[in-house]
Amino acid sequence: MEERSTTSGEDKPEIQSPIPPNQIFILSGQSNMAGRGGVVKDHHHNRWVWDKIVPPECAPNSSILRLSADLRWEEAHEPLHVDIDTGKVCGIGPGMAFANAVKNRLETDSAVIGLVPCASGGTAIKEWERGSHLYERMVKRTEESRKCGGEIKAVLWYQGESDVLDIHDAESYGSNMDRLIKNLRHDLNLPSLPIIQVAIASGGGYIDKVREAQLGLKLSNVVCVDAKGLPLKSDNLHLTTEAQVQLGLSLAQAYLSNFC
């Protein structure tokens, strides 16, 4: 079950950066990309809340920005998807740990990293087809993010848990993902756009078929990071905060090793 939101994120400070990002990363997929780390049940008020615990690997950095829902660059801080994956409680995802790790490894101090949150919890891959709201929003936000001259460096994609329950969905996952990548590259006019995909760790059902498709996708500039074995929350679906940090570091290593 997806955890429903009780907060709007309106109390978050909005910091306009005078220096736009020059290295941009798209964060997309479903709830584990949006982040449920640290989201717990407040039994006293019978609601889901974020515990607001931010690991040091996810700390804000003035050289790491995020594109807000209203298409403005601001200093990035957790939860990255608070105004994107609306209607649900967002917590720690892999994005900030990824960005900090990449920033720390880059040899130039002039690098300003821009994160573009696009993930939406509970969504199946068919909901990301070209022409759908989610797909078109992702393209629009990506196009907007590079208007100041920044370069789209990679798409981080973590999705698939919603495709494991139906055998047809699981068996068609590979072809659907192949089509999604080709469409996105075409529509952004980035034929070699790097894609770093996460092989899902949870979901039950026909998960092995989805994982097989994710790990076996044969397209250029597509790599896969396996989330199997990372700690899960008590729902056996969402990664813990610790796991999200580990995943973010693994995604950063995959990017740095394959595309830098």
Enumerate the active-site residues. Answer: 31, 235, 238
Euclidean distance between CA atoms 96 and 80, whole angstroms: 8
Euclidean distance between CA atoms 163 and 65, whole angstroms: 32
Euclidean distance between CA atoms 156 and 179, whole angstroms: 16
Q: What is the largest CA-CA distance in the chain?
A: 51
Nearest Cα to Cα of residue 118 among 146, 85, 161:
85
Dihedrals phi, psi of 157, to nearest 5 degrees? -125, 120
* β partners of residue 75: 65
* β partners of residue 115: 25, 66
Euclidean distance between CA atoms 185 and 195, whole angstroms: 10
